[in-house]
Structure 1
Amino acid sequence: MQQESLVEYGSRRAIVTITAILCALLEIVDTTIVNVALNDMKGNLGATLSEIGWVITAYAIGNVIVVPMTSWLSQQFGRRNYFAASVLLFTVCSFLCGNATTMWELILFRFLQGVGGGALLVTSQTIITESWPPEKRGMSQAIYGLGVIIGPTLGPPLGGYIVEHFSWPYIFYINIPIGVIACMLTLQYVRSPKYASKKSASEIDWWGIIFLAMAVGSLQYVLERGQEDDWFNNREILILTITAVLGFYFFIWRELTYKNPIVELRVLKNGNLRIGTILSFIMGFGLYGSTFVVPLYLQNSLGWNAQQAGMIMIPAALMTAFMMPIIGQALQKGAKPQYLAAVGMFLFFVYSLWGRNILTPDTSKEAFFWMLMMRGMAMGMLFIPVSMMSLSTLKGQQIGQGAAFTGMMRQLGGSFGIALITTFMTMGNATHRVDLIKNVSADNVGFQQQLQGMQAKFMAAGMPPNQAQAAAYRMFDGSVMKQAAVLTYMDVFLYIGIMFLVCVPFILMIRSGKEKVSMSEAMH
């Protein structure tokens, strides 16, 4: 059968797998590597903070638009050709990003880099899945998962190191040699399945492409920029929200009625894939959300630099790398993926609770080590079982379509996570500040004693009484802001943890009876 003919053996399988992982890593590391370089870019290009934010937004929009279309594009042009072209586009745009001299040049090339990158993630998963024999697909997902889970964590320390020791264009130039090697290996070793005949230009679902780009592009913009632009009080955000809703409505209607849809929504009739896409969304929320919030807390509340904040995430990434093959082996030996995923979700809840309990305005570096190791273990236990549950009952072309859905939902989960956390933190800071300020009053004896002590300290240093009192109040205000921020971080950890805990019973409800085919039968 066609699917079996794509299985590779020996060194050829190793080369195909390494090529696919290199490409997945390229794409994912680039999602987070830019975060720590934004300040340098802003200075170099003379941009405002909101303009420089577009460097991240443009990449994410390009990414999310192209991910659902990858399966269809692979059929149109052949998987190998499409994959190689995507690697080439990504590599060329990396060079152009590094050479950009104006803000808008950089944003355009980042968008095009995102279009190239979107294909790398999903297609590499399909290539790896199909090049391994069915009974070893648990291990193949483990190897692929290494790149997907470790990538976002590697971005900040790598970016921090490059910016500290070189200059920001090198965060893009680092992609070029890897991209060139990956492109050559793809053309030499990756094979394409034999698809049904290609569509003529008149049969192509142009309206589907337009509605999808409208919907996903608008939604991504709203998520990335909403907080900064004051959400629905901003006319632009309101218009784009309506555009996103209408875009999704017309897109779904078009795909379900057109005979050659660009995204095969009917594949979602598969119960396992439906649950898998929801779990992928939550996993993306937790993965990108925690990768965003931990360095933010370390830099803003504890005063660490970008490199220090990035480096502390590395042991947890290594823990994930250590767990992945163990989980892959366990699945190969017949362990139930839903049980492993449930344990992973519960461990992520424990990590979140642990994180909530150790946060203070001056937590020591040592306190984070085992907490982050728990995160690494949880992520290692989640990725492969969720991927297996999602894709295990799909056949042939459906594997690529299913991988596209789970990939898109993981990216969207990350965008939702970061947008919601940012909004929640702004609101939380204000709420906690109001609560804490109530204690700063004339009738609070403890506060008055502390204030007088501080005032006396400033006066002893030579300040007149009125200035000393103003300085003491300023110091208290800074202390209140810091405590309000820490209380908000604690809330973020708690709510993310609860979200993962709520998933546990739902995962356990997934049946592995007649309707679920074992992995060894799944791709025949």
Structure 2
Amino acid sequence: MAATQTDDLVEYGFRRVIITITAVLCALLEVVDTTIVNVALNDMKGSLGATLTDVAWVITAYAIANVIVIPMTSWLSQQFGRRNYFAASIIIFTVSSFLCGNASNIWELVIFRFIQGMGGGALLVTAQTIITESYPTEKRGMAQAIYGMGVIIGPTLGPPLGGYLVDNFSWPYIFYINIPLGIIATFLTLSFVKSPKYGEKLKANQVDWWGIVFLTAFIGSLQFVLEHGQQDDWFENTTIVILSIVSFFGLILFLWRQLTYKYPIVNLRVLKDQNLRIGTIMCFILGFGLYGTTFVVPIYTQAILGWTATDAGLLLIPSSIMTGIMMPIIGKLIQKGVPQAYLVSLGFLIFFGFTFWMHNVMTPDTGAEHMFWPLILRGIGLGLLFVPITTLALSTLKGKEIGEGAAFTGMMRQLGGSFGIALITTFISRFGQQHRVDLISHLDATKFEVQQRIQQLQMSFMSKGFTANEALDKAHKAIEGSVIKQSTVLSYMDVFLYLGILFLLCIPFMLMVKKGSGKVDMSNVH
């Protein structure tokens, strides 16, 4: 039965093109909105009279809502019908975008961002399911490639687009830009997207309300801890400790509830599929690398090299274009039967090459030309990782399992990104302090070179009209400043090196994937 039902959803010709465009547009909207806000935080802070900690909630609220809703999307689709749920999510996303732009204070904005995240999380996973089911099984690799373009290019488009809108208009326009696109996507969804027949809907008293509560406690608390851990000094902070405990017990109770309740909100049994299990772990690592590097590179170029937000965002564009070029090529290779495990292993190796190269070119005054080729290599690596990992994860699923599998991969990719950013910010500050101590220990005031450098700086400040004492004070401050800068650069280098080692360690695991399971098993379909 599932086989014929899956075949009913396969589209051809013009309809498939329209459905693909609609789904990619929605995925792109969602992902761009995750990063577009980063560049506008300063302007929001000024116009809404908020502190930097308050403004950070604009990002946190969206991320928490996203991660809570993603695991529930498959279940919600089954309750309301896929087309209706997808259209409702686009409408929620679009209306809350308008409300975000009109927010009059920071907490209004945070609430509307949370609602926007609830709509957005659904867009990402449902778009992936719709695309997967609209293509015949042998073309699934190509389907994932097309979807992947939106997901990979989105985070990179956010900052330059946000920078342009903030510089030339004002911050509310980063939300208003969603409105026309949302209206078009809603119209296309209602006209073209079909809903699978799911059988019985649950009655209100059968709904897994406790599952929803435990999932929200587990994921919401975990996301908060990851977003705020570093700035609140991790487990020195009572809130972080309490939420970590809530998250841990939330996870235990959630797993118990899902495995014992007759109508679980998240079908954990779908994880019996070995390919999906490996795929979800790899999605986590992919999120780690994708969001982690999208986070580090702009911070390094802005904080150390003094670039503008727009320039920092533009630096990543060639890398994304390269990924976009790679996607269809990889999709074709998978169709021809090249095992996904080999492509992913090559992707990890190339990603290691990128991190190692970045580790070697980073200095306090690296130019854009030094980072161009390493970032192109990053683009090739991400192309080799994204399509094979998502195709591999969903390759042996059928019927409604595809949606359930897509929800797991989507959630793990987002969580991987959150873990990546949390760990990277922690490492940068810890390594930075360590390198500063090491560098200062080498600054011996009795050494001739050190004395000479201080004297040169003192003379240059005196030539600008400062007294001898003021100039000496400024010389010491300048040396302290360059020590901090150098120690920060060294900590970025460490982060790239460790990221690279993580990717290298994944290769042996990929080669353990069952042969043959990489290719789609056609016997499941007919």
TM-score range relative to shorter protein = over 0.9
Q: Deviations over 1:339-363 (max 9, x none)?
A: 1111011100000000000000001
Report the RMSD for the aligned CA atoms in angstroms: 1.1
- The corresponding residue for 2:295 is 292
Q: Confirm or deny: 8 A CA contact 1:64 1:216 kept in the other structure.
A: yes
Partner SS state of residue 199, structure 1: coil
Deviation at 1:519, TM superposition (A): 5.2
Deviation at 1:522, TM superposition (A): 5.2
Letter in 1 for 2:251: F
Pairing partner for 1:140 from 118, 140, 143? 143
Q: Confirm or deny: 8 A CA contact 1:439 1:447 kept in the other structure.
A: no
Is there any run of 5+ residues in structure 1 with no aligned partner, and where? none
- The corresponding residue for 2:199 is 196
Q: Confirm or deny: 8 A CA contact 2:48 2:106 kept in the other structure.
A: yes
Query: Which residues of 2 match residues 162-311 of structure 1 at below 5 A?
Result: 162-311=165-314
17-26 or 228-237, which deviates more? 228-237
Pairing partner for 2:316 from 313, 317, 333? 313
Deviation at 1:135, TM superposition (A): 1.4
Instruction: Tell me: CA distance 1:522–1:166, structure 2 relative to 1, closer, same or farther (3 Å).
Output: farther
Pairing partner for 1:479 from 472, 477, 482? 482
Instruction: Tell me: CA distance 1:130–1:410, structure 2 relative to 1, closer, same or farther (3 Å).
Output: same
Letter in 1 for 2:101: G
> Whole-Å Cα distance in 2 between the matches of residues 242 and 36 of structure 1?
33
Deviation at 1:441, TM superposition (A): 2.4
Instruction: Tell me: CA distance 1:82–1:369, structure 2 relative to 1, closer, same or farther (3 Å).
Output: same
Partner SS state of residue 438, structure 1: helix
Instruction: Tell me: CA distance 1:195–1:147, structure 2 relative to 1, closer, same or farther (3 Å).
Output: same
Pairing partner for 1:350 from 350, 353, 368? 353
Q: Confirm or deny: 8 A CA contact 2:138 2:520 kept in the other structure.
A: no
Q: Confirm or deny: 8 A CA contact 2:45 2:52 kept in the other structure.
A: yes
> Whole-Å Cα distance in 2 between the matches of residues 53 and 521 of structure 1?
50
> Whole-Å Cα distance in 1 between the matches of residues 195 and 505 of structure 2?
41
> Whole-Å Cα distance in 2 between the matches of residues 85 and 46 of structure 1?
33
Moved over 4 A (4+): 519-524
Matched, 1:54 2:57: yes
Q: Confirm or deny: 8 A CA contact 2:137 2:520 kept in the other structure.
A: no
Q: Given the two structures, how large is their TM-score scaled by the length of structure 2?
A: 0.98
Q: Confirm or deny: 8 A CA contact 1:392 1:522 kept in the other structure.
A: no
Deviation at 1:444, TM superposition (A): 2.5
- The corresponding residue for 1:415 is 418
Q: Deviations over 1:363-391 (max 9, x none)?
A: 11211111110001111111110011111
- The corresponding residue for 2:439 is 436
> Whole-Å Cα distance in 2 between the matches of residues 358 and 322 of structure 1?
25
Q: Deviations over 1:18-58 (max 9, x none)?
A: 00000000100000000000000000000000000000000
Letter in 2 for 1:377: I
> Whole-Å Cα distance in 2 between the matches of residues 328 and 190 of structure 1?
23
- The corresponding residue for 1:69 is 72
Q: Given the two structures, how large is their TM-score scaled by the length of structure 1?
A: 0.98
Query: Which residues of 2 match residues 360-509 of structure 1 at below 5 A?
Result: 360-509=363-512
Q: Deviations over 1:43-102 (max 9, x none)?
A: 000000000000000000100000000000000000000000000000000000000001
Letter in 2 for 1:339: Y
Matched, 1:2 2:21: no
- The corresponding residue for 2:91 is 88
> Whole-Å Cα distance in 2 between the matches of residues 126 and 234 of structure 1?
40
Q: Confirm or deny: 8 A CA contact 1:134 1:522 kept in the other structure.
A: no
- The corresponding residue for 1:21 is 24
Pairing partner for 2:520 from 515, 518, 521? 518
Q: Deviations over 1:401-459 (max 9, x none)?
A: 11000000000000111111111111111111111111222232321221122223333
Partner SS state of residue 405, structure 1: helix
Deviation at 1:516, TM superposition (A): 5.9
Q: Confirm or deny: 8 A CA contact 2:341 2:518 kept in the other structure.
A: no
> Whole-Å Cα distance in 2 between the matches of residues 448 and 104 of structure 1?
53
Deviation at 1:228, TM superposition (A): 1.1
Equivalent pairs counted in the alignment come to: 523
Identity %: 63
Deviation at 1:520, TM superposition (A): 4.2
Letter in 1 for 2:515: S
- The corresponding residue for 1:160 is 163
Q: Confirm or deny: 8 A CA contact 1:7 1:131 kept in the other structure.
A: yes
Partner SS state of residue 442, structure 2: coil
- The corresponding residue for 2:106 is 103
> Whole-Å Cα distance in 2 between the matches of residues 9 and 233 of structure 1?
57
Partner SS state of residue 262, structure 1: coil
Matched, 1:112 2:115: yes
Pairing partner for 2:38 from 35, 41, 44? 35
Instruction: Tell me: CA distance 1:509–1:412, structure 2 relative to 1, closer, same or farther (3 Å).
Output: same
Instruction: Tell me: CA distance 1:193–1:237, structure 2 relative to 1, closer, same or farther (3 Å).
Output: same
Q: Confirm or deny: 8 A CA contact 1:301 1:361 kept in the other structure.
A: yes
Q: Confirm or deny: 8 A CA contact 1:394 1:523 kept in the other structure.
A: no
Q: Confirm or deny: 8 A CA contact 2:347 2:385 kept in the other structure.
A: yes
> Whole-Å Cα distance in 2 between the matches of residues 364 and 180 of structure 1?
42
Letter in 1 for 2:370: A
Q: Confirm or deny: 8 A CA contact 1:302 1:362 kept in the other structure.
A: yes
Letter in 1 for 2:446: D
> Whole-Å Cα distance in 2 between the matches of residues 172 and 518 of structure 1?
40
